[in-house]
């Protein structure tokens, strides 16, 4: 059935207005399920969220809906096939969420969603764990498909792959996509799991950083020792670990692991200055996270440092005594979790290896070092001269009233480069979250305006994509 974009836009706006309350209610219901993939105590709830999505896919008119068990949490699949000739869009998202800790810092319970207004969300935002990452953003795709379906407007074949292990490294998804290559064939993969600078200045994400997540243990004496009897005579594993970690950066905050930068694709001054035109204001950035000064690799802007440069950070460190009061002790062991964010063309397995070699090499005599790799993923960049990008650009422009800029994000979605490797398909990242939405932090939220505009943008994307695809 033919329908012009103006008409589609009008229909969408009207539908969204009519359906607004229901769309919000549905997201709230979904957010009540504590699908925390990292915590085995929540396995049943993770399953419940998978069931919820399965029913959601059936309701919007999908066929072949199925929950695929994996060795970890299940993957949910469903598809809307309109015609063999129509282009196919594969939507990926995740229904699992991060643990809500520290729970005492939440102003309302993380799994009892509430709507509150904020400075950046004057029309209200839904507060709950997973509101933005990724339940709210993922649900927009189901709802956009439903609206398109209902109004019989031109659309693509849409396949949905919604997983439950993204927040713990997508360990079993590679096998799933390898086992279902045919089923997952598509012309473009579409994901909403990234962010925009603001509702006035939206962006399409063209890059993600990779990740290499390590854990290290330093072992000294065979037991915790009295620090008076032994202090000053043995290598204290915590002292040593701190020295070792401190030595991983030089005075310019460059990572000192030999070979770390070898594969890094340097970006031309021209391109960097273009990217930096759309960066957030440095003072706003500092104020938004309550710091007086930024810090990072010399010679780069804050925007560069959080998008196109690789990093190394300690995520947690422990050992010895940290209970109430004081205990005089030299610990037998010290531990740390360390993550590295990677950029094209670093390879996460190679970097993990370089880290391990280096960390072992710098250890003094008198301690034993253990290094383990948790998980990782490669960085990703996607072109801006594709049909998919052009279709997205038009859709954002229609809904937000401005042409979106391209931006590289600092976060990681390891399955994205994996999709390209296994399926040979490129990904388009259409995110709608704000940095201030506090993903992974207490009081995570997602703007209602972002949610509704997201649905509209996605629906328009499908129309533009179909048209541009047939014109090519």
Span from 113-121, 157-165, 241-249, 408-416 in contact with ligand BES (CB under 6 A): 408-416
C-alpha to C-alpha distance for 76 and 338, rounded to whole angstroms:
32
Q: Which is nearer to ligand BES, 166 or 356 (CB)?
A: 166
The minimum distance between CB 453 and Mn ion, in angstroms, equals 19
Tell me whether residue 193 or residue 393 sits nearer to Mn ion (CB atom).
193
For residue 429 the two structure tokens come to 């990242």
Binding residue (CB under 5 A) for Mn ion from 15, 45, 133, 146? 133
Site string for ligand BES, 145-174 (x = CB under 6 A): ---------------------xx-x-----
Cα separation, 286 vs 359, whole angstroms: 33
Choose the contact partner of 412 out of ligand BES, Mn ion, none; CB within 5 to 8 A by kind: ligand BES
* SS percent in the chain: helix, strand, coil, step 5: 40, 20, 40
When CB distances are held under 5 to 8 angstroms depending on the partner's kind, the choice from Mn ion, ligand BES, none that residue 411 binds is ligand BES
For the bound state, the minimum distance from the C-beta of residue 153 to ligand BES, rounded and expressed in Å, comes to 29
17 φ, ψ (degrees, to nearest 5): -65, -45
H helix or E strand, kind and range, residue 283: helix 282-289
Number of H helices, E strands in the chain: 13, 18
Q: Does 194 bind ligand BES (CB under 6 A)?
A: yes
Given the complex with ligand BES, which of 193 and 304 has the nearer CB atom? 193
Question: Are the C-beta atoms of residues 465 and 88 closer than 8 Å to each other?
Answer: no
Stretch that binds ligand BES, among 77-85, 117-125, 407-415, 458-466 (CB under 6 A): 407-415
Smallest distance from ligand BES to CB 106, Å: 18
Please give the size of the binding site for ligand BES, defined by CB under 6 A. 17
Alpha-carbon span 423 to 187, nearest angstrom: 10
Rounded (10°) CA dihedral 265, 269, 270, 274? 90
Considering only 195, 207, 379, 447, the residue that binds ligand BES (CB under 6 A) is 195
What is the Cα–Cα distance from 58 to 194, expressed in whole angstroms?
26
Per CB under 6 A, 193 contacts ligand BES: yes
- From residue 197 to residue 226, what is the string marking binding to ligand BES with x (rule CB under 6 A)? -----------x--x---------------
Tell me phi and psi for residue 399, to 5 degrees.
-85, -40
Q: Alpha-carbon distance 94 to 166, whole Å? A: 6
Residue 195 site contact among ligand BES, Mn ion, none (CB < 5 to 8 Å, cut-off depends on kind): ligand BES
CA 97 to chain CA centroid, Å, is 11
DSSP secondary structure, 227-246, as one string: HHHHTTTS--HHHHHHHHHH
Interhelix angle 5-31/137-150, rounded to 10 degrees, is 130
Stretch that binds Mn ion, among 185-193, 219-227, 293-301, 370-378 (CB under 5 A): 185-193
Note whether 136 binds ligand BES by CB under 6 A: no
Identify which of residues 77 and 446 has a Cβ nearer to Mn ion in the complex.
446
Please report, for residues 9, 58, 80, 185, 459, the alpha-carbon distance to residue 145 in angstroms, rounded to integers and kept in the order given.
14, 12, 9, 19, 7
What's the min distance (Å) between Cβ of 232 and Mn ion? 45
Minimum distance from CB of 81 to ligand BES (Å)? 28
- Within 62-141, strands assigned E span 63-68, 75-80, 88-94, 114-116, 125-127
Query: From the list ligand BES, Mn ion, none, which binds 169 (C-beta under 5 to 8 Å, kind-based)?
Result: ligand BES
CB 27 within 8 A of CB 140: no
**From the CB of 320, what's the least distance to ligand BES, in Å?**
28
* Residue 407 main-chain phi, psi, to 5 deg: -145, 150
What does 444 interact with, of ligand BES, Mn ion, none (CB < 5 to 8 A by kind)? Answer: none
Site size for Mn ion (CB under 5 A): 3
Q: Whole-number minimum distance, CB 251 to ligand BES, in Å? A: 28
User: Is residue 413 close enough to count as binding ligand BES by CB under 6 A?
Assistant: yes
Binding residues for ligand BES, rule: CB under 6 A, are 133-134, 166-167, 169, 193-195, 208, 211, 375, 377, 409, 411-414
Write out the residues near Mn ion by the rule CB under 5 A.
133-134, 193
């Amino acid at each position: 059935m033919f329908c012009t974009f103006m008409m589609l836009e009008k229909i969408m706006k009207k539908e969204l207005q009519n359906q607004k309350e229901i769309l919000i209610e549905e997201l709230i219901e979904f957010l009540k399920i504590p699908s925390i993939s990292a915590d085995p105590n929540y396995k049943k709830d993770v399953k419940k969220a998978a069931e919820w999505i399965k029913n959601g896919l059936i309701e919007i008119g999908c066929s072949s809906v199925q929950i695929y068990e994996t060795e970890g949490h299940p993957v949910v699949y469903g598809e809307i096939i309109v015609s063999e000739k129509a282009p196919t869009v594969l939507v990926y998202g995740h229904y699992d969420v991060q643990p809500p800790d520290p729970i005492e810092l939440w102003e309302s319970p993380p799994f009892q969603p509430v709507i509150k207004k904020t400075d950046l969300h004057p029309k209200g935002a839904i507060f709950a764990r997973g509101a933005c990452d990724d339940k709210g953003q993922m649900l927009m795709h189901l709802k956009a498909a439903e609206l398109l379906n209902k109004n019989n407007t031109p659309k693509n074949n849409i396949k949905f792959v919604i997983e439950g292990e993204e927040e713990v490294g997508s360990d079993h998804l590679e096998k799933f996509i390898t086992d279902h290559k045919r089923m997952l064939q598509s012309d473009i993969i579409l994901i909403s799991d990234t962010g925009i600078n603001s509702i006035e200045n939206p962006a399409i994400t063209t890059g993600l950083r990779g990740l290499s997540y390590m854990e290290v243990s330093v072992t000294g004496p065979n037991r915790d020792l009295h620090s008076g009897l032994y202090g000053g005579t043995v290598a204290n594993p915590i002292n040593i670990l701190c020295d070792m970690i401190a030595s991983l950066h030089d005075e310019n905050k460059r990572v000192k692991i030999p070979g770390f930068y070898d594969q890094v694709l340097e970006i031309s001054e021209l391109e960097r200055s273009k990217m930096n035109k759309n960066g957030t204001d440095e003072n706003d950035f500092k104020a938004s996270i309550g710091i007086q000064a930024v810090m990072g690799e010399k010679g780069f802007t804050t925007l560069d440092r959080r998008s196109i440069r690789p990093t190394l950070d300690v995520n947690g460190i422990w050992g010895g005594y940290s209970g109430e009061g004081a205990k005089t002790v030299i610990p037998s062991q010290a531990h740390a979790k360390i993550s590295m964010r990677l950029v094209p063309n670093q390879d996460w397995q190679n970097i993990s290896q370089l880290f391990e070699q280096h960390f072992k090499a710098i250890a003094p005599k008198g301690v034993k070092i253990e290094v383990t790799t948790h998980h990782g993923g490669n960085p990703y960049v996607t072109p801006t001269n594709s049909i998919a990008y052009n279709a997205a650009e038009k859709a954002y422009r229609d809904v937000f009233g401005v042409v979106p800029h391209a931006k590289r994000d600092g976060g990681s979605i390891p399955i994205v480069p994996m999709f390209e490797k296994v399926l040979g398909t490129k990904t388009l990242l259409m995110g709608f979250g704000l940095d201030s939405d506090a993903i992974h932090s207490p009081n995570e939220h997602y703007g209602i305006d972002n949610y509704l505009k997201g649905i509209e943008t996605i629906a328009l994307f499908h129309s533009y994509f179909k048209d541009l695809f047939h014109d090519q």
